[in-house]
Structure 1
Amino acid sequence: MRINEIPFTDAVPVDGYGPGYFRVQGQVHSGPMLMAGGGAMAWDGLSDTAALLDLAGRVDVLFVGTGAEIFHLPAELRTELEAAGLGVEVMNSPSACRTYNILLSEGRRVALAALPV
């Protein structure tokens, strides 16, 4: 099998995750996390809509990681995000992290809001 290293230029990928944390650039971030290309920051979870709406115009797609299990976003939140021009993709957090990293490596304008597993 041939393995190729993925170049991320100036973008920052998710290095790993585990029970209650994410690892980005070698640093552990406990609890929910928000990433938009340049790095990770704490996020207050689904109730923190202001942080998500702040991404409008800067990214095209927001991946929402819902922890270990997938669940639907509240309809009001999804409507508000889509009205702001954000494409929203909901999946469990491991899948959201992997998908975010892949599209980030392609130079796409993506963000990740993830609840820990």
Structure 2
Amino acid sequence: MARAAPQIDAYGGGGFRLNGARHDGSLLILDDQARPWPVAALNTLAPEHLADVLAAPRGAVEFLLLGAGPRNSPPPRAVREAFQAARMGLEIMDTPAAIRLYNLLTADGRRLACALIAV
């Protein structure tokens, strides 16, 4: 039986609440599992921070939804180029908007990865 994608109940104070449990710091959600993610600011993001997403089997992840922090801003060029090379979609928005979209898309059964910089 497939695992259900975690739902993000709240955010702020440098972390998130998923399915009622508090997670401090930034998060990466892949294969319906949330894990700590060591990125605290968009300008420090590098392709190696997303290596597990980029290495996902074709079709396992439709795209990466990237919550860029308190304001929407493009990620570093190397990250954009890595996703182009992998032929994987990359959607970028501020973290609050990314959380809302993530919850909607996963409730609809979409298969995506989500990287969220804590606010």
| TM-score, scaled to structure 2 | 0.82
**1:50 offset after TM fit, Å?**
1.7
Residue in 1 that maps onto 2:77: 75
Report the structure, 1 or 2, having the larger helix content: 2
Number of residues paired by the alignment? 109
Q: Where does structure 1 differ by over 4 angstroms across 4 or more consecutive aligned residues?
A: none
Specify the code of the residue in structure 2 equivalent to 1:88.
L
**1:27 offset after TM fit, Å?**
1.4
Counterpart-to-counterpart distance in 2, 1:28 and 1:55: 27
Residue in 1 that maps onto 2:27: 33
| Aligned-pair identity (%) | 36
- Across the aligned residues of Structure 1 and Structure 2, the Cα RMSD in angstroms comes to 1.7
Gaps (5+ residues) in structure 1?
A: 1-8
Checking the alignment, whether the CA contact within 8 Å between 2:30 and 2:53 is kept in structure 1 is no
Specify the code of the residue in structure 2 equivalent to 1:70.
N
2:92 is paired with a residue whose SS is: strand
Q: Deviations over 1:10-58 (max 9, x none)?
A: 2222111012001112111111100125231011222313233234522
Specify the code of the residue in structure 2 equivalent to 1:42.
P
Counterpart-to-counterpart distance in 2, 1:85 and 1:23: 31
Residue in 1 that maps onto 2:53: 52
Gaps (5+ residues) in structure 2?
A: 40-44
